[in-house]
Amino acid sequence: MKKIGVVLSLMFLIGVSIWSCNKDQTPDDGPTPYTLQIPSHFPPMDIPADNPLTVEGVALGRKLFWEPMLSGNNTMSCGTCHFPAASFSDTNQFSTGITGAVGTRNSMALINLGWQQFFFWDGRSATLEDQIFRPVTDPTEMNETWPNAVSKLQQDSEYPSLFEEAFGEPGIDSVKVSKAIAQFLRTMISGNSDFDILYKFNNGFQLTSSEMARYANISIEAKAGYGLFESQAGADCIHCHQGPLMQIQAYSNNGMDLAFSDLGRGGVTGDPLENGKFKVPTLRNIALTHPYMHDGRFQTLEDVVFHYFFEVKQNSPNIDPNMEYAHVGGVGDHLSYPQNFNEIVAFLNTMTDMDFVNNPDFQDPN
């Protein structure tokens, strides 16, 4: 019996060593492609050919998004100013960086970034990969140099192998950090709010029976608000906030100021005709992303809608011609207050997608 036991365990050991030799010798297949679940009513996503999504890359990007080592004093991660409960934005008007310096713009919600064609309120980054380089070195944000950040990751017990698994070769650099975070950000898709049910219903998409039940539960008030939102004779929001992404890819001045303390797009291009124009933001999860506008000037959705109803400044330089009711101060000249006003606010509240906010795949893994 004893002998058989020894022989068996020897065979087992030999088996294990052959298996592990094979494992070492088999050429690595490289990272595993990641399959994105794109909602049926969304357009396809353009993913750069030099940064395909992989399971290992997305997981690494998530870890890096939440990694305080990317900041000068190891206290701040991307998630500090882009946190889940605020739909990956910041509820402070301006975010405070690690040195205590305060920025001048409101943190943007990170949603459906894979469909964006430019980034930041003034569009100063043309790609997601480029955008990610900036907060790390920004003195009002993470205030770290890339060589320092990379060397901290290199000395870490986990990162060197995670980078190797994600990119199929050893080595860590800032390009790989930005590629991995970009992969993660492209997986952050929000497409399951009550608004999505309304959108699909109105645009002839087949609803499942549970979606039909959800449709029936959406208030008459919100449905009326959607009608007004989309109608040119109504609240006329549709020129700029439209489609499943609830935005167009453009810069626009929606008539808030007679003079600009922040030039917006004009500050980047130097073209005075672009002064006061900002990126048209998505309205998804808008109830969670207060305060509002590039400078966080409005605390509530009521404040925002009040602007569009009564406070649009016709003489704001470069005002968007699509602010069709600017000459009468806004859409409040023909819509009722408070009824139509409340309907629009109710519609804006249908854009909340708690599945997105609570998605376990987006939370801090560290």
- The dihedral built from the CA positions of residue 234, 235, 237 and 242, taken in this order, carries a sign that is negative
Kindly state the number of chain residues that form the binding site for ligand HEC, as judged by CB under 6 A.
52
Nearest CB to ligand HEC, comparing residues 142 and 197: 142
The string of DSSP codes covering 59-102 is HHHHHHHT-GGGSTTS---HHHHSBGGGTSB-SSSS-B-TTS-B
Binding of ligand HEC by 352 (CB under 6 A): no
Binding segment for ligand HEC (CB under 6 A), chosen from 51-59, 160-168, 194-202, 277-285, is 277-285
C-alpha 125 chain-centroid distance? 14
Figure out which of the listed residues 87, 190, 254, 316 binds ligand HEC, where binding follows CB under 6 A: 254
Figure out which of the listed residues 60, 237, 246, 312 binds ligand HEC, where binding follows CB under 6 A: 237
Figure out which of the listed residues 278, 325, 341, 362 binds ligand HEC, where binding follows CB under 6 A: 278
Nearest CB to ligand HEC, comparing residues 211 and 342: 342
Paired residues of 251 in beta bridges: 279
Q: Which of residues 183-212 bind ligand HEC (CB under 6 A)?
A: none
Alpha carbon distance 310, 333 (integer Å): 8
SS3 content of the chain, % helix, strand, coil (to 5): 45, 5, 50
Binding of ligand HEC by 252 (CB under 6 A): yes
Coil, helix or strand at residue 187: coil
Figure out which of the listed residues 218, 283, 288, 312 binds ligand HEC, where binding follows CB under 6 A: 283
Q: Phi and psi of 284, rounded to 5°? A: -65, 140
Could you tell me the smallest distance in angstroms from the CB atom of residue 310 to ligand HEC?
11
User: How many other C-beta atoms lie within 10 A of the C-beta of residue 358?
Assistant: 11
Alpha carbon distance 163, 274 (integer Å): 41
> Looking at the chain, which runs of residues are DSSP E strands?
251-252, 278-279
Nearest CB to ligand HEC, comparing residues 17 and 232: 232
Nearest CB to ligand HEC, comparing residues 173 and 211: 173
- First-to-last alpha carbon distance for the chain, in angstroms, is 49
Residue 218: both structure tokens together:
């959406």
Binding of ligand HEC by 150 (CB under 6 A): no
Nearest CB to ligand HEC, comparing residues 103 and 266: 103
Radius of gyration from C-alpha coordinates of the chain: 25
Q: Which of residues 296-315 bind ligand HEC (CB under 6 A)?
A: 304-305, 308
Binding of ligand HEC by 322 (CB under 6 A): yes
Query: What x-and-dash track marks residues 107-136 binding ligand HEC by CB under 6 A?
Result: xx-x--x--x--xxxx--------xx--xx
Binding of ligand HEC by 103 (CB under 6 A): yes
Nearest CB to ligand HEC, comparing residues 122 and 165: 122
Binding segment for ligand HEC (CB under 6 A), chosen from 49-57, 190-198, 203-211, 286-294, is 286-294
Q: Are 251 and 214 in contact (CB under 8 A)?
A: no
Binding of ligand HEC by 181 (CB under 6 A): yes
Per-residue burial over 33-63, b = 16 or more CB atoms within 10 Å of its CB, e = otherwise? ebeeeeeeebeeeeeeeebebbebbbbbbbb
Nearest CB to ligand HEC, comparing residues 136 and 357: 136
Residues near ligand HEC, by CB under 6 A:
65, 70, 76, 78, 80-82, 95, 97, 103, 105, 107-108, 110, 113, 116, 119-122, 131-132, 135-136, 141-142, 181, 235-237, 239-241, 252, 254, 278, 280-281, 283, 286, 289, 292-294, 304-305, 308, 320, 322-323, 331, 344
